[in-house]
Amino acid sequence: MVEKIDHIGIAVKNLNESLRVFEEILGLKSIGLETVTDQKVKVAFIPVGESEIELLESTEPDGAIAKFIEKNGEGIQHIAFRVDNIEKVLEDLKAQKVRLIDEKPRKGAGGARIAFIHPKATNGVLIELCERT
Ligand code: ZN
């Protein structure tokens, strides 16, 4: 059901400063910025091998990323697994009574279709399912 780790999401206070750190210290290059209004975030993706790092800065004080930073400080916020049929995976999880944040896919950065599994169901780790076309 899972093909690979699509990306690791990191909550940051300042996207441009964090990008500079990843680019200067690790020599990585981002592939563009995007605002996802639905999720109240500005996002930058940094390819690393076959996966990516997703840096997330909140655009609103009441956004999920702002709340995460308030509670935990900056750091890894979620891990995203690539799936090829997100509806099917969600149906399977529902059948197993796994607690979900999203019962239906929503639109994520880069035109992906995404859904989150509740961290209470996965040892405290927020897991994103991510289908790309
Ligand atoms: Zn993500």
Binning pLDDT at 50, 70 and 90, where does residue 111 land? confident
Query: Cα(128) to centroid of ligand 1, in Å?
Result: 6
Query: Cα(115) to centroid of ligand 1, in Å?
Result: 9
Query: Cα(39) to centroid of ligand 1, in Å?
Result: 10
Binning pLDDT at 50, 70 and 90, where does residue 114 land? very high
Give the C-alpha distances (Å, rounded to integers) separating 71 from 15, 36, 43, 81, 99.
19, 22, 20, 24, 22
Predicted local distance difference test score (pLDDT) of residue 61 = 93
Q: What percent of the chain has pLDDT over 90?
A: 92
Give the C-alpha distances (Å, rounded to integers) separating 72 from 67, 75, 77, 125.
9, 8, 9, 13
Please give the average per-residue pLDDT across 82-93, as a whole number: 97
Instruction: Decide: helix, strand or coil at residue 42.
Output: strand
Average pLDDT for the chain: 95
Q: Do you know the residue count of the chain?
A: 133
Assign residue 125 a region: left if phi > 0, alpha if psi is -120 to 50, beta otherwise?
beta
Query: Cα(96) to centroid of ligand 1, in Å?
Result: 24
Chain centroid to CA 68: how far?
Answer: 13
Q: Would you kindly state where each structural domain of the chain is located, as residue ranges?
A: 2-131
Query: Cα(7) to centroid of ligand 1, in Å?
Result: 6
Tell me the pLDDT tens digit for each residue of 14-67.
999 999 999 999 999 999 899 998 889 999 999 999 999 999 999 999 999 999
The percent helix, strand, coil of the chain (3-state, each to 5) is 30, 40, 30
Give the C-alpha distances (Å, rounded to integers) separating 84 from 14, 29, 32, 49, 133.
32, 26, 24, 19, 9
2-131 — its CATH code?
Answer: 3.10.180.10
Predicted local distance difference test score (pLDDT) of residue 59 = 97
